[in-house]
Structure 1
Amino acid sequence: MLYPDQPVPVLVDRLRYLEGLGFDQVFLPDHAADLRGLGSHWFDSWSVLATAALATERIRIGTMVANQILRPPAQLAKQAIALDHLSGGRFELGIGAGLFAWDHHSVGQLPWPPKERAERFADYVAIVDGVLRGGVFSHRGARLWVQDVVTVPGSLQSPRLPITVGGQSPTLIRVAAGYAESWNTHGPPGASAAEVIAITAEQNRRLDRLATEAGRDPAAIRRSYTIFGPWDPRRGRHGYEEVFERFAGAGVSEFVLDWPGEAHQEEFERVAREVIPALRDN
C-alpha cells in the first residue's frame, strides 16, 4: 500500500523500489485527503496510478479501494479501463463503500445512512462490472441507474479487469460473492488480535457459502488481508511470519503491507526478499 503523500519524483522512486523488491502488486487508497491527517500532503491517487503505469514494467497496480462516494460508477469503470490499457493489462480495481463524512463533503453531499450506503454499493459494483466488459450497458437498481453506456474499448484483460471488493459488512461480502475476483479485509477496527482472526475466518466461510449460492466457485475468489491494527508488525508484538501463518489458517492467501517508514525499512526488505518468495513458491 503506497500513499500519495510525497512529491511525485519520490513516489516514482518508491514505485520502482517496490517493483525491484519483487512485490506482486502496489495499491493506492482513494480519498479526498489523507485520512491520517486531513491537512497533509495528498495527491489524487488516480493521477499517481497513471504515473505508476508508465514508471513500472511488471508490478500490478490498482486501488485499495476506489471510493464510491467520489465518482459515478460508469466514470470509475472507464478510468480503470484507461489505466488497464496504459499499464499493458496490469490494473486491478479495488472498490469500497466509502465512509468518511469529509469525502462526502468534498463532493457537496451529506453522508448517506447505512442502508442507503449498502444499496448504493450493490448497484455501484453491478454497474462497474457491466461497463468494464465494454459494449452498451444499462442497469436500473434500487439506488443507481445508467442507460445505454457505450464503452469502446473494454478492458484489456479478458473478460474484464479484476475487481476486488474491500469491506466487511454483510452487503459487501454478498457483493464480493457475486462479482469479485478478490475480497479484502483489514479486520474490525478496535478488535483484539484473536478477534480479528476469528472474525476473518467466519467471514471467509460466509463468502464461500454466498459464492456457492451465486453459482460461483468459492476457490475463484482470492482472499486478501491488509495488515492493520493489532497485527501490524511495527507495533512489535507479532512478526510478519506469524501474521502470514495465522491468517493463512483463516483462509487468507494474499497480504497487503503498509509502507514501512524509515525505522522499519530493513525488516520490510528482509520480508520482501526472503520470506515472501518462499511462501509464494509453496
Structure 2
Amino acid sequence: MTARRFGVMLYPDQPVEVLVERALWLEQLGFDQVYLPDHSGDLRDRRGTWHDSWLVLAAIAVATSRVRLGTMVANQILRPPAQLAQQAMTLDHLSAGRLDLGIGAGIFSWDHHSVGGHPWEPKERLQRFADYVAIADGLLRADEPMFSFAGPRLWVQEVATAPGCVQSPRPPIILGGQSPTVLRTAAALAQGWNTHGPPGASAEDTLDATARQNRRLTELARLAGRDPAAIRRGYTIFRSWDPKMGKHTYEEVFYRFGEIGVSDFVLDWPGDTHLEEFARVATEVIPPLRE
C-alpha cells in the first residue's frame, strides 16, 4: 500500500515574512508538503495582495529544513517551459532537493491577459501542455549538456541544462487536471497526479469523477509500460468536500478518497477561525493514517 502524504496549500496573499512563519508552523506540525498556486493574481479577489509564488517558495526553502515544497500547480500560461525548468532547478538547489514540481495546463483568461495574450482554445491548450511537460521533463533530467525538442506546438533548441538537479533523475513531477491529455501525459512520465474535481460538482459527483479518472490513469500507465503504483494519486480538498464548509470532516475526506485510491491530500490553509481544528487534525488525525 502506498504511504499517505499530507500537504497544505498556502496562498501568497500575506507579507512574505508571514508566509514564511506559516510554512515553519506547518513544518512543525509534521505536514509533508507546502504548496503555492501559480497565477498572476488572487483568483478569489484579483485586486488583493498577491506575491510571486516562486520567490515566496525560495524564501520558504531557505527558512525550512524538512518539509517538501512546490507548486500546485505551475502555470504554463505565465512562463516558457525552459524558464519553468530553470526556476525548478534553482529551487531544487535552494531546498537541498525538496522540490515537488506540480504543473497544470492553465485555464484562466486573465492569466493570458497578464502576459499580453488571448486565451487558447481547449485543444490548443492541451496540445501545448503535452509539449510543455515534455520540455520541462527533458531539461530537468539533464541527460546531455544541451537539450532540444520539437513538438506539434512548442519547441526549444540547444538549451543549456547545467548544473542539473539535486534530485535524481529530476524532482518529482505532479500533473494537475482532469482532461484525457493530462491523464495520458501523467501516465507517460509523471510521478504524481492531482485533482480537485470537476468545477461546481457535488461532493458525490466529485468522488465518482475522481474514481473514474484514477482508474483510467491506471489503464493508461499500463499501456505506457509503466507500473501504475509508480504514480501517486492526489486530491486537493476543495469546495464541496472542504471541511471548512461544515458538511464534511477531514476524517471523512481521508477515508472516502482513500477508498478510491487517493494517497496524497492537499489541505487548504485554514484561516484564522479554523487554526485550532487544523492543528488537531495535523497532530491527532493524520499521524495514525501514515502508519
- The interval holding the TM-score normalised by the smaller chain is over 0.9
Residue in structure 2 matched with residue 237 of structure 1 by the alignment: 247
Instruction: Pick the aligned partner of 1:99 from 101, 107, 110.
Output: 107
Instruction: Pick the aligned partner of 1:26 from 28, 34, 58.
Output: 34
Paired residue secondary structure (1:62): strand
Instruction: Pick the aligned partner of 2:71 from 59, 63, 72.
Output: 63
* Whole-Å separation in 2 of the counterparts to 1:41 and 1:26: 20
Instruction: Pick the aligned partner of 1:77 from 46, 70, 85.
Output: 85
* Whole-Å separation in 1 of the counterparts to 2:191 and 2:32: 16
Residue in structure 2 matched with residue 173 of structure 1 by the alignment: 183
Residue in structure 2 matched with residue 17 of structure 1 by the alignment: 25
C-alpha displacement at 1:96, in angstroms? 0.1
Instruction: Pick the aligned partner of 1:218 from 219, 228, 245.
Output: 228
C-alpha displacement at 1:154, in angstroms? 1.2
Taking CA–CA contacts closer than 8 Å with sequence separation of 6 or more, which of the two structures ends up with the larger relative contact order?
2
Q: Which amino acid aligns with 1:121?
A: F
C-alpha displacement at 1:192, in angstroms? 1.1
Q: Which amino acid aligns with 1:152?
A: A
Paired residue secondary structure (1:23): coil
Instruction: Pick the aligned partner of 1:190 from 195, 200, 205.
Output: 200
C-alpha displacement at 1:138, in angstroms? 1.1
C-alpha displacement at 1:155, in angstroms? 1.2
- The number of equivalent residue pairs is 281
Q: How does the TM-score come out when normalised to structure 2? A: 0.96
Q: Deviations over 1:41-83 (max 9, x none)?
A: 0000000010011010100000000000000001101110000
Q: Which amino acid aligns with 1:114?
A: P
Residue in structure 1 matched with residue 136 of structure 2 by the alignment: 128
C-alpha displacement at 1:229, in angstroms? 1.4
Report the identity percentage: 69
* Whole-Å separation in 2 of the counterparts to 1:267 and 1:189: 27
Pair 1:204-2:214 in alignment:
yes
* Whole-Å separation in 2 of the counterparts to 1:277 and 1:136: 44
Q: Which amino acid aligns with 1:142?
A: P
Structure 1 unaligned regions, length at least 5: none
Pair 1:251-2:261 in alignment:
yes
Q: Deviations over 1:2-59 (max 9, x none)?
A: 0000011111110111111100000000000000000000000000010011010100
Paired residue secondary structure (1:257): strand
Correspondence 1:264-279 to 2 at 5 A = 264-279=274-289
Pair 1:148-2:158 in alignment:
yes
* Whole-Å separation in 2 of the counterparts to 1:112 and 1:50: 30
* Whole-Å separation in 1 of the counterparts to 2:128 and 2:90: 24
Instruction: Pick the aligned partner of 1:3 from 11, 14, 38.
Output: 11
Paired residue secondary structure (1:183): strand
Q: Deviations over 1:158-182 (max 9, x none)?
A: 0111100000011111111111100
Structure 2 unaligned regions, length at least 5: 1-8
* Whole-Å separation in 2 of the counterparts to 1:147 and 1:75: 13
* Whole-Å separation in 2 of the counterparts to 1:34 and 1:2: 12
Residue in structure 2 matched with residue 113 of structure 1 by the alignment: 121
Paired residue secondary structure (2:262): coil
